[in-house]
């Protein structure tokens, strides 16, 4: 985490010198809030990918995704923020927790949570981060978002654009979700021999159950 | 607000997710990392959309629309992904990615075997059938 | 039905029989024997009908062109003159006899259906050769006969002798067929047609540009097919096939195809005096050498095989002196009595349980066991030895008469030297022929010693055909006066000088052999030897296969036996050792051809394995090393793959950015 953080600070240092009109040293309140929440989000994300406790990873993921929802709010994209909370925090993470349980993931610290590929992965990630941050900062260090005025992502605005300009992709997406629903059911069905051996009734929750909930809730959330 | 803030945060989150995808052993953790990467992209989309919608008069709000689409597709992806992971777990007795080396060259088959036993230690009866089933496959590779 | 229709049916019926036999052989076992015998019988009847209708008059010619075939047309043509009509009757007769004989001889053979079908196919091919008026169609029959011969010689393919013999027969005849094919093309190129009538017309008008070359090329094929020196070595070995096959293919018909071919195209050969002299020399060497070799053989069928080569030599001798009437006359007479000899030999082998004359000479009363074979074989041997009034006398005298005619310079276009060569060698061979015929008869039927083993009565199917074939041997000589009407019209009656001379030397040969036999036969009691087949109740085919397979282990050689009681050993003296192995011709071939070819093959193999492959291996080594290196990257771990992918992406992106910014 430290090299990534160092890269981040280095990136901030480069922005400082360049920002003239809206000096970096005189940040607005929104910026400070964004920065703080961003730090929390980033920290939670880093913990998510490094913790040795699998369930904790899922919980830290909630923090990271929730932090992102706050960032969306700060960017005045309120609709997206609530969708984020509903779908990611509400269902995806729950689904991941179910997945962890169904695959009998160990509770507590598991020493082999990271594979032997860790150092290569770290090197690649740091190199990618350095390249990306360098490019992004170099390109957008003076760009300013004007957050005053009407919210850019209010429900009315989003709904209008979605159902005026984006109706066809939206419907196509619903078909995709249906296909994903069917696919998930087919994939998680047990083989026929096992299906006859353990008939459907009570038992443990069948895998398709929670999974088939998801796309539906997605759809509802999207609408 | 400077556009650089969300852009840099997005880049960092993306790379964190990338690290997770490359380094995590459990397939579900890999899926979580993928979610992180997708969210990084979403943040980017929203930030640029907000910036463009303020500078241009007429806008399609394409960034936000695409964000919604990404969220929906990500949800579908996680559903399918988890189904696959469960199917693999049922058949192989493990959800560890680095054990699933069926495409490996036969020269490294031995190390695969040891990895397989390590990975199956934690699981119960499914593991026995899984490892027993994977043995002929490895033999077939060795002869091929 | 017109004569043409009848003639078309003659080769077609055995062919249909062969096809039906091959397809139905396994499923409908009951139809196999009728399917084998009846088509041949019908073909014989039709051939007789054709001969009667043709009646030695004008040749029947018919042709149809199925499809254009380029500059020189190939037509389905018939050309039936007196030669063709009579030769077809002979082929039909011998084939029918052989088919009937085979039903008894191979009655327990599991491969009988395919055997019978192949014999039918062979008959069809031979009839095609006989009737065809187009050289390409003739060649088709010619080659089909070759492949049938290969399969039938290899009928007992369990024995190594049969396998080797079939391959040898095939290769040696093919060795002749390659120049034969080139000769046919050259002939067609010179005359512009494959039709025999047109070819002969062109030759008659002197339109042949390269007569000697063409004649010698064709001669190579004829020598291969008709077992003439120096391509005759396959025929004695071909005796490893079943006896009926030897009778049909290697005595009466296929080997006669070469002679018949020259007889058809004699004007082509007569156009070149050199070719005639070569033919005469080949005939002389073949005759005398094969007769000497026949005197030293122990296997009864090999004696007959060498005798066949010698008699074919007579026919080519007659052709060399330009008398195809005499040649075909001898062909017909010889076909009948030689088929009889072989079939009778099959009966004897079955009854005695051995094919060795040495073993037979130590059996008492073998003739009493096989009275039919005894009497018919006696007739046939007398015919072979050219004793009047049997058929062989008249046909051989016709040959000698023609030779004398040419030697005294009365024949047109024929060099006198050819006449003298054929005449002298013919007389010498007549002496030797009588000698080995007498030896065969004495050793087979006048043995002393233990009782011959009882193998039961011979099947009627086998005995009856012997008498059928004995008939022409007895009375065919009467046809001497009629035959010139069918042939070229030249007189075939024996002249006094050659008749007295020929009969005289034949009698001398027989008497000398008898004396030698009286001298040596006492030894036979002191030197017991012989091996007899182990299955007295089996059919003839099995007994013969065992006899052939056991000859070499029992006597040390497939051809001869160390028998001091053999009169041939006394007569030949030091020559016996060489004659027994065919005058070392096989050894010469081994030295001249087989060893160099094997050496070249070994060299090529060495070059391929050690030189070429070294380069190939060297070229393969580098990719292999690279592959080994690359293979190490294929861990099967998806995460390493993705890591490499992203690392590469980052590197590329950075590179592109650096280039872009450097440009800006």
Q: Do the domain assignments include residue C193?
A: yes
For residue B104, give the chain C residue with the closest CA. Answer: C636
Closest of C358, C262, C345, C352 to residue C305, by C-alpha: C345
Closest of C289, C188, C276 to residue C229, by C-alpha: C289
Q: Does B101 touch chain C (CB under 8 A)?
A: yes
User: In the prediction, which pLDDT does C158 show?
Assistant: 81
pLDDT, block means (10 residues), chain C with 664 residues: 81 87 78 84 89 78 78 82 86 89 83 87 90 88 89 85 86 89 88 84 81 87 84 83 84 83 86 85 89 85 88 88 85 88 86 80 78 87 84 85 82 79 88 88 81 70 83 80 75 79 87 85 70 64 75 70 74 78 81 88 91 88 88 81 90 89 72
Percent of chain A whose pLDDT exceeds 70: 74
C387: Cβ–Cβ under 8 A, 6 or more apart, which residues?
C393, C434, C503, C506, C507
The reply to whether C492 and C538 lie within a common domain is yes
Q: From chain A, which residues contact C within 8 Å (Cβ)?
A: 115, 117, 120-121, 123-124, 127-128, 131, 135
**What is chain A's mean pLDDT, rounded?**
77
Alpha-carbon torsion, ordered C444, C449, C450, C455, to 10 deg: 10
User: In the prediction, which pLDDT does C533 show?
Assistant: 61
Tell me the ipTM for this assembly. Answer: 0.73
**Over residues A83-91, mean pLDDT:** 88
**Over residues B48-60, mean pLDDT:** 80
Q: Do the domain assignments include residue C597?
A: no
Cβ–Cβ < 8 Å for C129, C146? no
Nearest by CB to residue A115, choosing from C639, C653, C654, is: C639
Closest of C475, C119, C90 to residue C260, by C-alpha: C90
Answer whether B98 sits within 8 Å of C639, measured CB to CB. Answer: yes
Establish, for the pair of chains A and C, how many residue pairs have beta carbons separated by less than 8 Å: 27
**Over residues B11-37, mean pLDDT:** 92
Q: Do the domain assignments include residue C577?
A: no
The domain containing residue C623 runs over which residues?
Answer: 603-631
Q: Which residues of C touch B112 (CB under 8 A)?
A: 636
- Counting as contact any 3 or more CB pairs under 8 A, the partners of C are A, B
The reply to whether C248 and C283 lie within a common domain is no
Answer whether B76 sits within 8 Å of A176, measured CB to CB. Answer: yes
The reply to whether C474 and C488 lie within a common domain is yes
For residue C636, give the chain B residue with the closest CA. Answer: B104
User: In the prediction, which pLDDT does C208 show?
Assistant: 78
- Counting as contact any 3 or more CB pairs under 8 A, the partners of B are A, C
Q: Do the domain assignments include residue C115?
A: yes
Query: If DSSP codes are grouped into helix, strand and coil, which group holds residue B107?
Result: helix
Total count of domains within chain C? 4
CATH T-level assignment (fold) for domain A2-150? 1.20.120
Per-residue burial over B45-83, b if 16 or more Cβ lie within 10 Å, else e, is bbbbbbbbbbeeeebbbbbbbbbbbbbbbbbbbbbbbbb
Q: From chain C, which residues contact B within 8 Å (Cβ)?
A: 631-632, 634-639, 642-643, 646
User: In the prediction, which pLDDT does C221 show?
Assistant: 87
Q: Report how far residue A65's alpha carbon sits from residue A53's, in angstroms, rounded to the nearest whole number.
A: 18
Answer whether B101 sits within 8 Å of C639, measured CB to CB. Answer: no
How many residues does this entry show for chain A? Answer: 223
User: In the prediction, which pLDDT does A194 show?
Assistant: 52
Answer whether C643 sits within 8 Å of A120, measured CB to CB. Answer: yes
Closest of C8, C93, C48 to residue C471, by C-alpha: C93
pTM > 0.90: yes or no: no
The reply to whether C197 and C298 lie within a common domain is no
Q: From chain C, which residues contact A within 8 Å (Cβ)?
A: 637, 639-640, 643, 646-647, 649-650, 653-654, 657
Q: Tokens in use for C199?
A: 């070819």
Domain boundary among the residues C572, C590, C612 is at C572
For residue C640, give the chain A residue with the closest CA. Answer: A117
Q: Under the phi-then-psi rule, with left for phi > 0, alpha for psi from -120 to 50, and beta for the rest, what region is C58?
A: beta
The lowest-confidence range among A50-64, B40-54, C241-255, C550-564 is C550-564
Domain boundary among the residues C271, C287, C310 is at C271
User: In the prediction, which pLDDT does B67 show?
Assistant: 92
* Start-end of H helices in A52-117: 54-74, 78-83, 93-102
Q: Which residues of C touch A131 (CB under 8 A)?
A: 650, 653-654, 657
Domain boundary among the residues C254, C271, C288 is at C271
Q: Do the domain assignments include residue C585?
A: no
Q: Do the domain assignments include residue C582?
A: no
User: In the prediction, which pLDDT does C537 show?
Assistant: 63
Q: Please give, rounded to a whole number of angstroms, the shortest distance from the CA of C606 to a CA of chain A.
A: 52
Give the model confidence (pLDDT) of B111-136 as tens digits.
Answer: 443 343 343 333 344 434 444 444 44
Q: How many CB atoms lie within 10 A of CB A100?
A: 23
Query: If DSSP codes are grouped into helix, strand and coil, which group holds residue A32?
Result: helix
Give the model confidence (pLDDT) of A127-164 as tens digits.
Answer: 999 999 988 888 888 888 887 777 777 888 888 888 88
Domain ranges of chain A: 2-150, 166-223
Q: Which residues of A touch B6 (CB under 8 A)?
A: 34, 38, 71, 75
Q: How many CB atoms lie within 10 A of CB C69?
A: 12
Q: Which residues of B touch C642 (CB under 8 A)?
A: 21-22
User: In the prediction, which pLDDT does A203 show?
Assistant: 41
For residue B101, give the chain C residue with the closest CA. Answer: C636
Q: Do the domain assignments include residue C29?
A: yes
Q: Does B11 touch chain C (CB under 8 A)?
A: no
Q: Report how far residue C115's alpha carbon sits from residue C94's, in angstroms, rounded to the nearest whole number.
A: 16
Q: Which residue has the tokens 């890591």?
A: C643
Interface test with B, best of A36, A80, A106, A219 (most B CBs within 10 A): A80
Q: Do the domain assignments include residue C589?
A: no
Instruction: Give how far the C-alpha of residue C216 lies from the chain's centroid of Cα atoms, to the nearest Å.
Output: 20
User: In the prediction, which pLDDT does B131 show?
Assistant: 42
Higher pLDDT, B41 or C323: B41
Answer whether C631 sits within 8 Å of B105, measured CB to CB. Answer: yes
Answer whether C639 sits within 8 Å of A117, measured CB to CB. Answer: yes
């Amino acid at each position: 985490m430290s090299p990534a953080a160092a890269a981040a600070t280095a990136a901030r240092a480069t922005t400082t010198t360049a920002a003239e009109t809206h000096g970096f040293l005189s940040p607005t309140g929104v910026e400070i809030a964004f920065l703080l929440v961003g730090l929390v989000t980033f920290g939670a994300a880093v913990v998510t990918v490094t913790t040795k406790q699998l369930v904790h990873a899922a919980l830290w993921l909630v923090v990271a995704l929730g932090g992102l929802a706050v960032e969306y709010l700060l960017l005045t994209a309120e609709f997206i923020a609530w969708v984020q909370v509903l779908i990611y925090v509400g269902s995806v993470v729950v689904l991941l927790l179910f997945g962890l349980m169904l695959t009998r993931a160990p509770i507590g610290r598991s020493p082999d949570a990271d594979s032997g590929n860790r150092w290569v992965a770290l090197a690649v990630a740091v190199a990618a981060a350095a390249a990306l941050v360098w490019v992004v900062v170099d390109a957008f260090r003076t760009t300013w978002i004007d957050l005053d005025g009407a919210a850019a992502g209010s429900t009315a605005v989003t709904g209008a654009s979605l159902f005026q300009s984006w109706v066809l992709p939206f419907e196509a997406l619903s078909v995709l979700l249906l296909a994903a629903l069917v696919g998930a059911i087919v994939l998680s069905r047990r083989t026929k021999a096992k299906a006859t051996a353990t008939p459907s009734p009570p038992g443990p929750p069948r895998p398709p159950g929670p999974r088939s909930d998801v796309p539906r809730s997605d759809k509802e959330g999207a609408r | 607000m400077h556009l650089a803030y969300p852009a840099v945060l997005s880049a960092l989150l993306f790379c964190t997710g990338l690290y997770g995808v490359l380094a995590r052993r459990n397939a579900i953790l890999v899926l979580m990392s993928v979610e992180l990467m997708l969210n990084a992209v979403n943040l980017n989309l929203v930030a640029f959309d907000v910036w463009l919608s303020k500078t241009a008069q007429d806008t399609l709000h394409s960034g936000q629309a695409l964000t919604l689409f990404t969220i929906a597709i990500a949800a579908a992806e996680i559903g399918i992904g988890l189904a696959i992971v469960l199917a693999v777990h049922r058949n192989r007795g493990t959800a560890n990615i680095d054990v699933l080396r069926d495409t490996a060259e036969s020269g490294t088959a031995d190390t695969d075997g040891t990895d397989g036993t390590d990975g199956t230690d934690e699981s119960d009866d499914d593991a026995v059938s899984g490892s027993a089933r994977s043995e002929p496959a490895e033999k077939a590779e060795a002869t091929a | 039905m017109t004569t043409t229709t009848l003639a078309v049916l003659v080769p077609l019926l055995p062919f249909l029989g062969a096809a039906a036999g091959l397809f139905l052989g396994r499923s409908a076992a009951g139809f196999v024997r009728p399917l084998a015998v009846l088509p041949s019988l019908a073909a014989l009847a039709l051939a007789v009908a054709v001969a009667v209708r043709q009646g030695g008059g004008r040749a029947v010619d018919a042709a149809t062109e199925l499809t254009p075939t380029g500059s020189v047309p190939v037509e389905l043509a018939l050309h039936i003159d007196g030669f063709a009509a009579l030769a077809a009757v002979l082929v039909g007769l011998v084939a029918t006899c052989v088919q009937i004989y085979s039903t008894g001889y191979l009655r327990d053979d599991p491969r009988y259906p395919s055997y019978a079908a192949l014999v039918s196919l062979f008959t069809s091919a031979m009839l095609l050769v006989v009737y065809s008026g187009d050289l390409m169609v003739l060649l088709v029959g010619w080659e089909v006969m070759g492949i049938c011969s290969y399969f039938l010689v290899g009928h007992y393919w369990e024995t190594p002798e049969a396998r080797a013999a079939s391959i040898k027969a095939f290769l040696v005849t093919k060795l002749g067929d390659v120049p034969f094919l080139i000769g046919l093309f050259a002939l067609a190129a010179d005359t512009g047609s494959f039709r025999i009538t047109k070819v002969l017309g062109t030759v008659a008008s002197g339109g042949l540009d390269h007569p000697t070359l063409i004649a010698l090329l064709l001669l190579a094929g004829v020598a291969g097919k008709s077992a003439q020196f120096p391509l005759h070595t396959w025929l004695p070995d071909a005796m490893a096939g079943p006896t009926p096959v030897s009778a049909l293919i290697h005595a009466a018909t296929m080997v006669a195809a070469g002679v018949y071919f020259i007889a058809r195209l004699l004007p082509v050969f007569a156009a070149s005096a050199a070719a005639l002299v070569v033919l005469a020399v080949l005939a002389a060497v073949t005759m005398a050498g094969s007769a000497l070799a026949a005197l030293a053989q122990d296997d009864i069928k090999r004696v007959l095989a060498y005798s066949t080569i010698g008699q074919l030599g007579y026919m080519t001798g007659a052709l060399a002196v330009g008398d195809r009437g005499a040649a075909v006359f001898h062909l017909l007479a010889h076909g009948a009595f030689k088929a009889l000899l072989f079939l009778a030999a099959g009966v004897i082998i079955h009854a005695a349980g051995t094919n060795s004359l040495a073993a037979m000479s130590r059996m008492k009363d073998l003739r009493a066991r096989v009275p039919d074979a005894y009497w018919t074989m006696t007739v046939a041997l007398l015919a072979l030895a050219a004793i009047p009034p049997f058929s062989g006398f008249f046909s051989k005298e016709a040959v000698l008469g023609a030779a004398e005619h040419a030697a005294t310079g009365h024949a047109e276009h024929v060099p006198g030297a050819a006449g003298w060569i054929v005449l002298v060698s013919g007389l010498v061979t007549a002496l030797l022929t009588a000698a080995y015929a007498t030896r065969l008869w004495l050793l087979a039927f006048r043995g002393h010693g233990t009782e011959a083993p009882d193998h039961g009565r011979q099947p009627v199917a086998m005995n009856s055909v012997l008498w059928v074939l004995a008939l022409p041997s007895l009375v065919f000589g009467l046809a001497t006066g009629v035959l010139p009407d069918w042939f070229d019209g030249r007189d075939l009656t024996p002249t006094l000088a050659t008749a007295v001379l020929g009969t005289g030397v034949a009698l001398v040969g027989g008497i000398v052999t008898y004396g030698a036999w009286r001298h040596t036969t006492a030894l036979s009691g002191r030197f017991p030897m012989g091996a007899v087949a182990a299955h007295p109740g089996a059919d003839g085919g099995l007994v013969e296969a065992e006899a052939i397979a056991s000859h070499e282990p029992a006597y040390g050689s497939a051809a001869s036996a160390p028998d001091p009681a053999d009169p041939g050993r006394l007569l030949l003296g030091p020559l016996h050792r060489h004659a027994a192995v065919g005058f070392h011709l096989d050894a010469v071939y081994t030295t001249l051809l087989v060893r160099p070819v094997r050496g070249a093959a070994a060299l090529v193999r060495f070059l391929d394995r050690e030189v070429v492959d070294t380069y190939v291996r060297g070229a393969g080594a580098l990719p292999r090393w690279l592959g080994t290196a690359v293979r190490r990257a294929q861990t099967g771990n998806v995460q390493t793959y993705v890591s490499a992918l992203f690392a590469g992406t980052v590197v590329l992106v950075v590179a592109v950015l650096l280039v872009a910014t450097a440009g800006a």
